[in-house]
Amino acid sequence: MPGERPNDGYHRLMRRVNKFPQGAPESELLLRILSILCSEREAALMSQLPLRPFSAARAARIWKVATNDARILLEQLASRSLLLDIERGGRTIYILPPPMAGFFEFSLMRRRPDLDQKELARLFFHYINVEDAFIRDLFAGGETSLGRVLVNEEAVPDEKACLVLDYERASEVIKSASDIAVGLCYCRHKMAQLDGGCGAPLDICMTLNLAAQSLLRRGVARRVDSVEGLDLLQKARDLNLVQCADNVQKRVNFICNCCRCCCEGLIATRRLAISNAMYGTNFVQTTASHRCTGCGTCAAICPVDAITMDTDEGPSPLPDPPPPGAGMSDLQLLPPEGGGREGGGRKARAATDFCLGCGICARVCPAGAVRLEPRARRILTPVNTAHRLVLMAIERGKLQNLIFDNQAYLSHRAMAAILGAILRMPPVKRLMASEQLKSRYLGRLLENVEVDRFSGCD
């Protein structure tokens, strides 16, 4: 019938994953991606799974099979990282991961002869970078970002170091992680499959905590201890890579060491001019004009092109960017192209709305003219993954998918956790949630909370 939506397993799974707060717009390219990653039967089974963590017994009830048969199927899917499995209270809990950060990355975090990774990389590139509906929705669909940038701790002046909180320090995130895993960098591995890779290392990005447990169990990544994790952080800093993390304060799931040429978040920020594609740090670049020689090194290294070299007549041409993964010695070879008095007074200026506050520019400035200064207004980071997911869902009109998941029954405990996160939000966002849910119960509940707070009873 005209207008009827296809109902094969791949279409059903495509519609299912688009219910995540960080969803995936429907596309023929996405269908082809799914067809490489799983069979149609597997897609149909996954399309019925809850968005929230679930047990093998729950999957068995949904699929109407014996629990042991369900467990076998779940293990097969988890072995290819189409599902994550975690140990909780002595039993295994399964999670259907979103596309990103999720099963897109997992498919290229190791070399797999069972997949056509070259074709998969080509499809990913076209789905994400050419069609761009996915990347626009992911990075510009709301105020809350999937990822955040971690400040380069070496670039923070000593007198400002006390302003950097522990969860903003990559070193503290590593030290506090229960598990650390290193696999192939999805972005650089994808570009290498397309003969467009760069010189930055592939094995330097880390998965942490619960997400790391599943990848380690399935051989997707190798285990490292905190000492090696800190060494990898320092190696990344020496190569002027941007350190990006899961946008949460507690139980961070990943730290990626990103290059400007391959990282999809950095590319999206530049190409689509998205000012908040990734949460920046609570610092911003400032240049002491009396010390700036106008060499352009900071502008050339900026991963999002937030720095320009300006004269009184306007912006002037920049030197070519250094090679990907360039270290300090490479950058110091960049010639000063007429800076200071001899060069017409070119000075570095940063667009603060786009500046990530990563600190790479401060680290490489040969004249010591660039500093990181605190932003006028701190950027607030969600407390944990549940908090971030609820914020993203509200902003993208998908909160009902988390609360009223019509594919499976949500426990009262899960419902209470989500509603509790809603009730702790500012009034404007609670109003948005109420309008989207169209629920008299939730509307009355939010109304009662407002009355309680007004009367001083919270």
pLDDT of residue 422: 67
CA-angle at 124, arms to 119 and 129, nearest 5°: 130
Q: In Å, how far from its chain's centre is CA 115? A: 24
- Count the neighbouring beta carbons within 10 Å of the beta carbon of residue 416: 10
pLDDT of residue 131: 87
Bridge partner residues of 45 (DSSP): none
Bridge partner residues of 283 (DSSP): 374
Shared fold status for 9-130 and 283-374: no
Q: What is the DSSP string of 353-409?
A: TT-----HHHHH-TTS-EEEEE-SSPPPPPSSHHHHHHHHHHHTT-HHHHHS-TTSP
Q: Give the C-alpha separation, 65 to 48, whole Å.
A: 13
- Count the neighbouring beta carbons within 10 Å of the beta carbon of residue 397: 14
**Could you name the CATH architecture of 9-130?**
Orthogonal Bundle (1.10)
pLDDT of residue 362: 92
pLDDT of residue 209: 94
Q: Give the C-alpha separation, 71 to 57, whole Å.
A: 8
- Count the neighbouring beta carbons within 10 Å of the beta carbon of residue 389: 24
Burial, 172: exposed, middle or buried (Cβ in 10 Å; 0-12, 13-18, 19+)? middle
Class of the CATH-defined domain 283-374: alpha beta
Bridge partner residues of 204 (DSSP): none
pLDDT of residue 432: 67
Residue 233 · residue 243 · CB < 8 Å: yes
Placement of tokens 């285990």 in the chain: 223
Q: Give the C-alpha separation, 295 to 307, whole Å.
A: 12
pLDDT of residue 419: 61
Residue 356 · residue 149 · CB < 8 Å: yes
Q: Give the C-alpha separation, 254 to 245, whole Å.
A: 5
pLDDT of residue 324: 53
Residue-range domain boundaries for the chain: 9-130, 143-271, 283-374, 385-446
Q: Output the tens digit of pLDDT for each of the chain's 458 residues.
A: 445 578 899 999 999 999 898 889 999 999 999 999 999 999 999 999 998 889 999 999 999 999 999 999 999 999 999 999 988 778 899 999 999 888 999 999 999 999 999 999 999 999 998 888 888 888 878 888 889 999 888 888 888 888 888 999 999 999 999 999 999 999 999 999 999 878 899 999 999 998 999 999 999 999 999 999 999 999 999 999 999 999 999 999 999 999 999 998 888 888 887 776 678 899 999 999 889 999 999 999 999 999 998 875 555 545 555 555 554 444 443 444 444 443 457 888 888 888 999 999 999 999 999 999 898 888 889 998 888 888 888 888 788 777 777 544 445 456 556 666 665 667 667 666 666 655 555 555 455 544 443 333 33
